[in-house]
Structure 1
Amino acid sequence: MPADAQLLLLDRDFVEPALQGDQVLAAVREAFVLHSQRAGRVFPVVRETLHTRGVFGIKSGDVASQDLLGFKAAGFWPNNRAKGGEPHQATIALFDPYTGRPLCIMDGNAITTARTGAAGALGLQQLARPDSTRICVFGTGVQATVQLKYALSMLPRRCTVRYVSISGEPEPRFEMAFRDHCAISVAHDRNEAVADSDVVITATPGGGALFDAAAVQPGTHLTCVGTDTAGKRELPQGVLQRARIFVDDQEQARTIGECQWAPELPCTEIGGLLAGTAPFERSASDITVFDMTGLALQDLTVARLLYEHALAKGTGTQVAWPW
């Protein structure tokens, strides 16, 4: 066995600047298409609540034709906020499928943020009305920020944004990030904000229904990000029953996504739309929901991009890893 084998480490300072928006979009699109063609596999998800109030999960998979194998260990630790840290934590590892030897370990926080934002953007592009100009966002954290950033870049017209914060009060830092790109203000009545929106983005910890079902008007598109664990939800009862539902993975959505609350309803995987194998024509009155639970393949295609970039540039930290 080689005694001079190396393991590549890519930390946050490498990962964050290396994530280019167009490349991430392309990688996430590839992941969805691979999944729709079953050319990439998604292994069963681990998602467990800890005694520390944290939630720990593992998402893994492979793409045999690309010799791509790996996992992401990630979760949500709400107590991190009190320590000045980010509640979402993630680490990604890539492996040689022929030997099982680890090839690369990289910081997964920025990757998770970027790939989830890109996934929401692809769903928005496929499902929202092209004339959408009014957006309602629930949340003001990292994921709400990236979802709104991608949404504004995807929609062809200048938008008006209303957001719902935890406190119900304005969040100046959140507003400052978007003032040059849209008219943005805090929503004091969440039901009114939903009713007056073309696009609704929910990016919260998934602690319960965020608004009344009757607030959702015909023609609305909803991007649902926060429900990724059994027992979580953001949508109220009754919305899914009125909607055309799209998911990243049917089984996963019915287990840990919004679809867990109505698993009997039909849903379509977004990869089929992107691959052109699942035709979809939106009428002006359709309500569409993209129930996003996150695919391991999204993490792996983006991680592969960064791994290959680091190898080509000779960057990152190589450490001895004899086997």
Structure 2
Amino acid sequence: MTPSPLSTLSTLPTAPADAQLLLLDKHQVDALLSPDDVLQAVREAFVLHSDREGRVFPVVREPLRTGGVFGIKSGDVQAQGLLGFKAAGFWPANRQRGGEPHQATVLLIDPATGRPLCVIDGNTVTTVRTGAAGGLGLRQLARPDSTRLCLFGTGVQARIQLDFALRLMPSLREVLYVSADGRRNAAFEAHFAGRCAIGPASDRNAAVAQSDVVVTATPGGGALFDLDAVQPGTHLNCVGADTRGKRELPEGLLQRVRLVVDDRTQAQQIGETQWAPDTQSLELGDLLSGKVPFERAPGDITVFDMTGLALQDLTVARQLHARALETGAGTRIAWPW
């Protein structure tokens, strides 16, 4: 005899009155994260996306009257009971307040009940998972004999992109960087002392032309170099275009390249691909999972258009949640039904 819906509901456990919500602040997240674990989590996110076991829901990305940009990236992995979202954006005025303009908060939710499980400061999560994604893209797409990298930006994201690039591509030995004001950044150089030869580029087009790898990690205010500067064999990781109207690449470049994206729809809506949405592309997850073979010819120009997957935030957040439960880290507050 099939039970009625009412009888089935009556067998469910009672909502606990002593339920708790776990909070992980910036310092706790920093203590719990490790680059190798994040690499593993981000790679898993790409493969889950490729296998369609992980879903990414439509992105919210809207400008605010305050001058900021607010976004929501959400998704789930139903087989793993993983559900949640990241509310994040960019508030440039925070620099005048002495704070970080990128702000993010991750919320993990119990998919069986809809109750929140864990609130996580998402700034470091976003930074490190984006760096790991960039590193995976470089390792998959750049020429393995690449020795020189040109980096646009010296901020938080530029630093983590270079950190993972040097970590995953030990052949890289020389870095030319372009700062926002065009000046030398001694603190930025000191961070990478002993890992590479690093210095400012005197001419951005010449630096691009002389480099095997180009990484763009800026606010995406416009093309950073001329089309003719990009030489055959170059690979480009593009980080800054994550909102409608943003771009870092010159007009006409995407028509000349082999384009790889993290998510095709997102890239066409908010990434570099918005400027050439009909460009054929592959998804990085399909390359990492082996579904799509990829071999680069010596003269190929390749581009990885990175818009950031909700699944990356969620797999890293799940990792943090589990580690906090194991170690007792974090703050627990009463969150009764």
TM-score (normalizing by structure 2): 0.95
CA distance in 2, matches of 1:230, 1:188: 31
CA RMSD of aligned residues (A): 0.6
CA contact 1:42–1:296 (8 Å) conserved in 2: yes
Structure 1 SS opposite 2:170: coil
Paired amino acid for 2:202: H
| 2:194 alignment partner, one of 177, 180, 201 | 180
Structure 2 SS opposite 1:286: coil
Structure 2 SS opposite 1:16: helix
| 1:111 alignment partner, one of 94, 101, 125 | 125
Measured after TM superposition, the shift of residue 156 of structure 1 is 2.8
Moved over 3 A (4+): none
Structure 2 SS opposite 1:44: coil
CA distance in 2, matches of 1:52, 1:188: 35
Q: Deviations over 1:287-314 (max 9, x none)?
A: 0000000000000000000000001112
Structure 2 SS opposite 1:280: coil
Paired amino acid for 1:131: D
CA contact 1:28–1:298 (8 Å) conserved in 2: yes
Does residue 136 of structure 2 align to residue 122 of structure 1? yes
CA contact 1:158–1:181 (8 Å) conserved in 2: no
Please list, as runs of the form range in 1=range in 2, the aligned pairs for 1:51-130 lying within 5 A after superposition.
Answer: 51-130=65-144
Q: Deviations over 1:245-301 (max 9, x none)?
A: 000000000000000000001000000000000110011100000000000000000
Does residue 328 of structure 2 align to residue 321 of structure 1? no
Does residue 240 of structure 2 align to residue 261 of structure 1? no
Measured after TM superposition, the shift of residue 198 of structure 1 is 0.2
CA contact 2:142–2:302 (8 Å) conserved in 1: yes
Does residue 316 of structure 2 align to residue 290 of structure 1? no
Paired amino acid for 1:226: G
Match of 2:263 in 1: 249
Change in CA separation of 1:204 and 1:158 when aligned onto 2, cut-off 3 Å: closer
Q: Would you say how many aligned residue pairs link Structure 1 and Structure 2?
A: 323
Farther-moved stretch of structure 1 (108-117 vs 171-180): 171-180
Q: Deviations over 1:145-203 (max 9, x none)?
A: 00001101111324110000011110111111112111111012100000000000000
Measured after TM superposition, the shift of residue 107 of structure 1 is 0.3
In structure 2, list runs of 5 or more residues that go unmatched: 1-14
Match of 1:49 in 2: 63
Match of 2:5 in 1: none
TM-score (normalizing by structure 1): 0.99
Fraction of identical pairs, as percent: 68
Structure 1 SS opposite 2:103: strand
